[in-house]
Structure 1
Amino acid sequence: MSAVKMSEGSVQVEICKAPLFYRQSQPTAGDPKMSVLLLHGIRFSSENWLNIGTLETLAKAGCRAVALDLPELGQSKSAKAPVPLGELAPAAFLKEVCEQLSLSPVVVISPSLSGTYSLPFLLEHQPLVRAYVPVAPICTEKFTAEQYQSVKVPTLIVYGDQDTLGEVSLRNLSNLTNHRVVVMKGAGHPCYLEDPDTWHKALTDFLSTL
C-alpha cells in the first residue's frame, strides 16, 4: 500500500467573505495523477469523506484530493454563500476555489445540494473540468437538454436505487454526451455513505479510465 499524506487548511475566496475549510490527501511519493474536488450535501461536510475513507482511497489511487466544506456548512459556517444561487455566482465560486488551490483541470465529485455549485461550474467552465461525478445532485432541472448535450466531459452518474431524487436527476443528466451510470443496489440518497466499498470501486474504476 502506498503511503498517504493528510492535511487540513483554509482557502479565502473573494466571493465568500470568510475562509473555507478543507481537508486534503495525496500520495507521499511522486506527483499526483490528477486533482479531485469533493463537495457534499446539506447535512454533511468534508468530514464524511474522511470518515468513510474516500480521501485515503483517492490518495492511494495516486490522486490529490481536496474535500471542501461549502459556505455556511461544516467548518465553513462563517463563510457566506455566493448569491444568487442558480446564476453565475456558484460557477465563479468554484472556479476561484480551483484557481486558489491549483486544482484545474479537476475531477468534481458532487452529491445532492452541491449540484447548485457544480452544475453551473460544469456548464460555464468545461475546460477546467477533467471529469464529473454527480451523486443524485439537486437542481438538474434548471438546465436544458441542449445545455447538457454541449458538455463533453467524461461523467460517472451515481445514485442509490432507493433514491427517487437520484432517478429524477438521472433523467436530466443522461443528456450529458459522455456518461456512464452506476446504480448502487439497496442504497438511498447518500449512497456512498451506505456502501463505501461499492462507491470506492466504482469511483476508482472510473478514474482509471481518464
Structure 2
Amino acid sequence: MQTKLISIPMTSPLLRHMTPFRQRLPGSNQSYRSKPRKMFDTKPQLMMGMTTEAGTPCVHPQRPAPASLKPKVLHLDEMNFLRNRLVVLGLVLLATLLLYLLLPSIRQGSMEPSLEAQRMGLLATSPPALSAINVSIRTGQLPGDPPLFFREALPIDGAGRQILPRLQVVLLHGQAFTSQTWEELGTMALLATNGYQALAMDLPGYGKSPDSDALKTDQSRVDLLSRFMESLGVRAAVLLSPSMSGHYSIPFLVKNSAQLRGFIPIAPVGTRSYSPEQYQNIQTPTLIVFGALDTNLGAQSHKNLLQLPNHYVLKLEGARHACYKDKPLEFHQGLIEFLNKLK
C-alpha cells in the first residue's frame, strides 16, 4: 500500500484552523501556542431559557443545569398528588363527622319503640289508631275538701254504642299539666274505644280543683284518692301516675295495693321513701314508664320501682321527662298492650 502525500499550502484556511501557530507576546521574546479552533462543535450551543423540540429546557453545555431544576418538576407532581389525597381524606373525615353529629338526631326522630319494651312483649304489632268515632268526654266536680274536678270518657264499641268497661283507668297528671292533657293527647278517647273507662282528675291546686291545706301528709293524700274512686264507683282501678302525682300514687300503692288492678308510674316522685321489703310485698302488676333522656327522675324512679316483683318496663327512646308527650304513639301502644294483659 502506497501512501500519498498531499501538500497543503501554509496559507490554506483549513491549515489555519487546524494547526496552532505561534504569536509573540508584546514586548517579549516569548511566544505561546494558541489552541486550535474547532470547525464543528458536536454539542449544540443551546442558550438558557430555550427549549428543544421535545419541550425540555435547554441549558448551555458549559453551564450545568441546577440540580433542583429537573427534580423540581417531579416535586410539583408529587405535591399535586398528595394535595388531592389530602382533599379526599378531608372530605371523608367531614362526612364521618356529620354522620356522627346527626346520628343522635336520627335516632331521636326514629319512631322505633324501645328494644326493652319489645322483649317484654308490651308493644302491639300494629299501633292502636284513634277511632274515627266521636268519643264524648263529660266533666264534673265532686264535692268535698277540696272539690275535685274530673273528666270522664265511657267505653264504646265499634258502632259508637256504650258498653260495660273492661277496666277503669284513673289518670293523674304532672306538675305542669292537668286532666285536659289526657283529653288533648287522645289518651282518653283511645281508652274508651278500646273498651276502658277513663277518669282523669285535676289534683288539688291544679286546673279547676282548688288547693287545700288539709293535704300535708301521705295519709291525707291516700284518703283523697280513695274518696275520688269511691264517689265515682271505681273498684279495682288501674292507676296511671306521672311525675308530681307520685306524692299521691306511691303512698296509695304501698298502703292500698290490693285495691288496684294495675299501676302505671311514669317517672314519679317519692319512690325513694320506701324500702326494698315494702316494694317486694306489692303484687300489683306494674308498667314502669320513663323516657331515655330523663336521666334524673326517670332513671331514679326506674331503679327503685324495679324492686316490684310483678313489673314490666316501657323505655321510650328519644323522650324526655314527659315522655308520653314526646312519644305518644309508642306510649299508647305500650299502654293498651299492658291493659290487655290484665285479667
TM value normalised by structure 2: 0.58
Residue aligning to 2:263:
132
The separation in 2 between residues aligned to 1:173 and 1:12, in whole angstroms, is 34
Greater share of residues in strand = 1
The separation in 2 between residues aligned to 1:194 and 1:93, in whole angstroms, is 30
Give 1:10-21 correspondences, 5 Å limit.
10-13=141-144, 17-21=145-149
Identify which of 306, 309, 312 aligns with 1:180.
312
Amino acid at match of 1:64: Q
Indicate the structure (1 or 2) with the bigger Cα radius of gyration.
2
Residue aligning to 1:66:
199
* 2:276 paired with 1:106: no
Amino acid at match of 1:203: L
Residue aligning to 2:163:
30
Residue aligning to 1:54:
187
Q: Does the aligned pair in 2 maintain the 1:82–1:93 contact within 8 Å?
A: no
* 2:330 paired with 1:202: no
Identity %: 39
Amino acid at match of 2:255: E
Identify which of 83, 92, 96 aligns with 2:215.
83
The separation in 2 between residues aligned to 1:74 and 1:8, in whole angstroms, is 13
Which deviations, in whole Å up to 9, do the C-alpha atoms of 1:148-207 show, x marking residues without a partner? 111000000000000021110011100111001010000000000111111100000000
Contiguous gaps of at least 5 residues in structure 1: none
Greater relative contact order (CA < 8 Å, ≥ 6 in sequence): 1
The separation in 1 between residues aligned to 2:282 and 2:309, in whole angstroms, is 6
Contiguous gaps of at least 5 residues in structure 2: 1-130, 157-161
Please provide the CA RMSD for this pair: 1.3
* 2:305 paired with 1:168: no
Which deviations, in whole Å up to 9, do the C-alpha atoms of 1:57-86 show, x marking residues without a partner? 11011011000000001111x24164323x
TM value normalised by structure 1: 0.94
* 2:247 paired with 1:119: no
Aligned length: 205
Greater mean deviation of Cα atoms: 198-207 or 118-127? 118-127
Q: Does the aligned pair in 2 maintain the 1:136–1:159 contact within 8 Å?
A: yes
Partner-residue secondary structure (3-state), 1:70: coil
